[in-house]
């Protein structure tokens, strides 16, 4: 696997996960991200997850003490995360908060669905529009909780599913040519390390997603 490691110390390792790699085995899958990490770090534990077709920053702990500390930061919402997402449609509100609980759908196996806030599994996502195209909007997304498929489910629930998302797309949603996976990238993490203070990590948008934006941007007439 060609997986860039962008930071490591005695306690953690931060990687830039490519799209298309399963993070951990669901049944008997091999060649997962966890398999890759355990070759070099036998005691490694994943602190959080990214969907198979989502790219970007992930942090893993090399020892139990680091795992407990980082897990506590995630549970207490102390870790700051930002994603870049391209969604279908033009949003009326250019900045907003989606507060809807997320639970497993009874109608769609393996999918998540939203319920009114106040129920179990509270989920909160902030977003801001940074660029608009014909029929699409580019967002910065800040999940304050970490539910399964949270960003994808929340954006679809307000009528703006992520481009290329096969699970949470609308029935008549146009397909964006050349986009082979969901346009979702984890590009920023701010965490407190067990020994080395607070650090920020940034991952630039991958080439496959940058090419999509280039095609959407109008050609300037000189």
Q: Active-site positions?
A: 51
- Picking from 112, 119, 122, the residue whose alpha carbon sits closest to that of residue 143 is 122
- Transcribe 42-92 into DSSP letters: TT-EESS---TT-EEEEEEESSHHHHHHHHHHHHTT-SEEEEEEEEES--S
Three-state SS annotation for 135-188: CEEEEEEEECCCCCCHHHHHHHHCCCCECCCCCCCCCCCCCCCCCCCCCEEEEE
Q: Which residue has the tokens 């650090």?
A: 199
């Amino acid at each position: 696997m060609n997986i860039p490691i962008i930071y490591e110390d005695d306690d953690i390792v931060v990687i830039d996960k490519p799209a298309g790699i399963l993070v951990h085995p669901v049944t008997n899958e091999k060649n997962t991200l966890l398999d890759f990490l355990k070759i070099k770090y036998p005691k490694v534990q994943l602190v959080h997850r990214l969907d198979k077709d989502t790219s970007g920053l992930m942090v893993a702990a090399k020892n139990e003490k680091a795992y407990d500390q980082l897990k506590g930061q995630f549970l207490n919402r102390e870790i700051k995360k930002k994603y870049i997402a391209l969604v279908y449609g033009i949003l009326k509100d250019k900045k907003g908060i989606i507060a809807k609980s997320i639970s497993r759908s009874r109608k769609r196996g393996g999918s998540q669905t939203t319920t009114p806030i106040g129920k179990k599994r509270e989920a909160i996502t902030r977003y801001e529009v940074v660029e608009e195209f014909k029929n699409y909007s580019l967002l910065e997304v800040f999940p304050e909780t970490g539910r399964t498929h949270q960003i994808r489910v929340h954006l679809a629930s307000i009528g703006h599913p992520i481009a290329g998302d096969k699970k949470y797309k609308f029935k008549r949603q146009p397909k964006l040519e050349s986009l082979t996976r969901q346009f979702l990238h984890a590009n920023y993490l701010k965490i407190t390390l067990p020994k080395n203070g607070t650090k920020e990590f940034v991952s630039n948008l991958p080439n496959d997603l940058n090419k999509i934006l280039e095609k959407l941007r109008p050609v300037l007439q000189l």
